[in-house]
Structure 1
Amino acid sequence: MIASARRRLVCVPLAAAAVLLAGCGLSDDKALTMVNRGKYSLFNCDQLKSQAVQLSVRERELREAMARSASGPGGELVNAIAYRSEYLTVKGEIEELEITANAKNCRQSVRAISDGVIR
């Protein structure tokens, strides 16, 4: 009984440390690597614009949720577990949309659309 309690006392902090370190591996500069290149290559400019609006709304929602949870106890841990990977995926998809829109010479920049939605 005592040995299993000691084992739990050792395992819980190690598990928490592993989760925290896993969140550190996902930095903002890795966002584009989480998205398939050419994912939006078959989209036309209107479809790119529509997708940019949807992704920008989701990015804002995730950023607000991360800010709310960061203010509470264990907030960074919650962010790493619940929000961080999806947030980086959405950011990467917005970047991929921008690359595709530039390649297709779309009139309105995806970045301008996403900035307008965020504000």
Structure 2
Amino acid sequence: MPVSSSHRRRISRAVGVLALLAAAAGLSGCASVGDNVSTAFADPAKYDLYDCKQLETERVKIAGRKADLQGLMAKAETGVGGSVVSELAYRNELVATQGQSKFAEEAWRRNKCHESPPESKPAASAAATPPAPAAGVRGSRPSSR
């Protein structure tokens, strides 16, 4: 059964409208990615029982992970199709990490925590110095005597 030209125009118009709706839905999804989505992938009660020292360690760890993920995403975007690879491989973890960061910061403020003072120089340099070998200890090969 042949299709008339008026049916073809209606079909092509319907396909065009659906394509526009799909594009609009996709773009609106990008615009709504924010705090609401980032906190959906993180446990809001995770940091409730942390003390300030634990929160400080966690904040440093989260900041490092966020920086790593952003670096990996930037590196991926330099290649062919990199933005797609970047989004597929790293975006979800980055969003989850941002949610964790938000909850850790809220707990930090709620507990009225303050940054720890930096360690004194002598203690830091002593920790960085490797221990001297024990007297009488030679290389790992046994002697040939």
Q: TM-score, normalised by structure 2?
A: 0.55
Name the count of aligned residue pairs: 90
Gaps of 5+ in 1: 1-19, 109-119
Gaps of 5+ in 2: 1-25, 116-145
* Alignment equivalent of 1:91, drawn from 95, 98, 102: 98
* Structure richer in helix, relative to its length: 1
Distance 1:58 1:65 in 2: 10
**Quick check: 1:82 aligned with 2:89?**
yes
Larger of the two Rg values belongs to structure? 2
Q: Report the equivalent of 1:12.
A: none
How much does 1:61 deviate? Answer: 0.6
How much does 1:25 deviate? Answer: 8.5
Q: TM-score, normalised by structure 1?
A: 0.66
Distance 2:32 2:59 in 1: 22
Structure 1 consecutive aligned stretches of length 4 or more whose deviation exceeds 4 Å: 23-26
Give deviations 1:53-106, integer Å, cap 9, x for gaps.
Answer: 111111111000100111211111111211000011111111100001111111
Structure with more relative contact order (C-alpha pairs < 8 Å, separation 6 or more): 1
How much does 1:28 deviate? Answer: 3.7
Tell me if the contact between 1:56 and 1:94 (Cα under 8 Å) persists in the aligned partners: yes
Q: Report the equivalent of 2:33.
A: 27
